[in-house]
Amino acid sequence: MAESKAAEGPAAERGRELIGRMTQHSFKVLNLEMDEFLESQIEVFDQDPDDFASGRGETLEQYDSYQKYVTELERHFDAFAAEEGFGSSKECFEFIERAVSEDMVRQKKQMRRLQKQLDRLQKQWETAAIEAQTIPKRTRQEIAAELKAEHPLIGKAVVLHGLSREEMNGMNGMVEGWDKHCERYIVRLATKDGSKGKGVKIKKVNIKEVPKLE
């Protein structure tokens, strides 16, 4: 007999693949290949329900039919096992059982490693939370002052220039803030009627401060 395929590759991985192929094979056998046999046995099991209720149970003919069914089923699964490189369906099922057991052990180890990582992250979070409580809280005014110190155009009247959208060049506005993600000033454009204008994000190089009139 050719060398068994059971030795090829990790057992757990091949076990999962084998289960998938066996499931497909079982569906094919029961719904297609054994369909003619099952239909031929219908009359044998055409029994009055009262016979079961009375305790008389199955007939010898039904038992014989069941034995034929088992034999036919084993033949199909022995053929499947042979295609997969096993000596018998029994050897194939034993391999699957071992592979599933090994897979369960592997998954338990992974879960233990994951739990250790979660415990470590939990401790880090708790430590960070305790440290955060010891850091003095800054007021909004302090945060605003720091932001304005880093970006001095905040709160200033400005004019736009050097933009690729030429129609925006020469527009006036007021710098309201700084977007750290795109590294641009947030400018509220001025309107002729004094209403709240459109907010745009502009690079520092495209903004000039408008000098205050003395």
Rounded distance between C-alpha atoms, residue 34 and residue 41, angstroms: 11
Over residues 179-187, mean pLDDT: 91
Residue carrying structure tokens 């302090």: 142
- Structure tokens given for 160: 């736009």
Residue 157 has pLDDT above 70, yes or no: yes
pLDDT attached to residue 207: 94
Q: Is 58 left (phi over 0), alpha (psi -120 to 50) or beta?
A: beta
Do 48 and 60 contact (CB within 8 A), yes or no?
A: no
pLDDT, one tens digit per residue, over 164-176 is 999 999 999 999 9
Q: Please, which residues have CB within 8 angstroms of residue 102's CB and are 6 or more apart in sequence? A: 11, 12, 15
Token pair of 178, please? Answer: 């700084």
pLDDT tens track for 100-150? 887 788 788 888 888 888 888 888 887 777 766 665 666 777 777 888 888
Structure tokens at 112: 């233990």
Cα–Cα distance, 45 to 63 (Å, whole number): 10
Find the mean pLDDT for residues 20-38: 84
Q: Convert the pLDDT of each residue in 75-106 to its tens digit.
A: 888 888 898 888 888 888 888 888 888 778 87
Of residues 52 and 130, more confidently modeled: 130
What pTM value is reported for the model? 0.37
Binned at pLDDT 50, 70 and 90, residue 184 comes out as very high
CA-CA distances (angstroms) from residue 26 to 21, 34, 79, 96? 9, 10, 12, 15
The residue type found at 160 is: L
Q: Is the pLDDT of residue 2 over 50?
A: no
What is the overall mean pLDDT for the chain?
Answer: 81
CB-CB contact of 203 with 184 (8 Å): yes
pLDDT of residue 6: 41
